[in-house]
Chain A
Amino acid sequence: DVKVTQSSRYLVKRTGEKVFLECVQDMDHENMFWYRQDPGLGLRLIYFSYDVKMKEKGDIPEGYSVSREKKERFSLILESASTNQTSMYLCASSFAKQPGSEAFFGQGTRLTVV
């Protein structure tokens, strides 16, 4: 069974803290993504990686960075957490060069910044 696993289901962090969200996939997918989901805004892409050490900005990269040192792992970093980063964060992965390839999602991390 395919799996995308996010390290935490729920996190509460303080304003200004550095926050790491981890994601691991076991499907040997080349592509990995970080989205955030907010009411009325749907899923918005933060960052995308198509290979180890490669990354591309998505639609809302400000305040975030990412790291992909191994193919199976993609980390999202909030350099200095702020209250407007309170959200549901979703990691996904997919095969590369397969048009229309479905993305598989993790269970999500509900982050609250206080």
Chain B
Amino acid sequence: DQQVKQNSPSLSVQEGRISILNCDYTNSMFDYFLWYKKYPAEGPTFLISISSIKDKNEDGRFTVFLNKSAKHLSLHIVPSQPGDSAVYFCAASDFGNEKLTFGTGTRLTIIP
């Protein structure tokens, strides 16, 4: 049972435009959400996180939005740059459980 879902396996965006990556979850106990970025042949690196007491968190070009009622979060990257081309994973955890549950990933390609 996939508790964290990324329904778009891939996404292509023109350089300079906005990239929007989506993530849905089913476990209502999740209260922290994280986004990771992964280049080929490297480990994932942390990008940005949000706790369930917030609905938005911003860090430079990256913004994460959380809609608890819809059990949905999204990552906005603006403006998109060629170096943003990577696989993006969303992940979730709950307070009593320190394991991260990951989604299946979305491959983002930025077109110059």
Please say whether chains A and B are actual partners in one complex: yes
CB distance from A46 to the nearest CB of B (A): 11
Find chain B residues with CB under 8 A from A103 CB: 46, 100
Chain B positions 91 through 112: 1 when the CB is less than 8 Å from some CB of chain A, otherwise 0:
1010100111111110000000
Q: Is residue A90 within 8 Å, beta carbon to beta carbon, of the partner chain? A: yes
Q: Which of A96, A100, A106, A108 contacts B32 (CB 8 A)?
A: A100
Find chain B residues with CB under 8 A from A96 CB: 98
CB distance from A44 to the nearest CB of B (A): 8
Find chain B residues with CB under 8 A from A58 CB: 99
Cα distance A56–B96 when bound, in Å?
A: 14
Find chain A residues with CB under 8 A from B32 CB: 99-100
Please state if B89 and A42 are interface contacts (CB–CB under 8 Å).
yes
Q: Is residue A33 within 8 Å, beta carbon to beta carbon, of the partner chain? A: yes
Chain A positions 59 through 100: 1 when the CB is less than 8 Å from some CB of chain B, otherwise 0:
000000000000000000000000000000010101011011
Range, interface on chain A: 20 to 34
Binding site for B on A (CB under 8 A): 4, 9, 31, 33, 35, 40-45, 48, 50, 56, 58, 90, 92, 94, 96-97, 99-108, 110
Binding site for A on B (CB under 8 A): 4, 6, 9, 31-32, 34, 36, 41-46, 49, 51, 89, 91, 93, 95, 98-105
Between A and B, 21 residue pairs with Cβ closer than 8 Å are: A4-B43, A31-B98, A42-B103, A42-B105, A43-B102, A44-B102, A45-B100, A48-B98, A58-B99, A90-B44, A92-B43, A94-B98, A100-B34, A100-B51, A103-B46, A104-B46, A105-B36, A105-B43, A105-B45, A107-B42, A108-B42
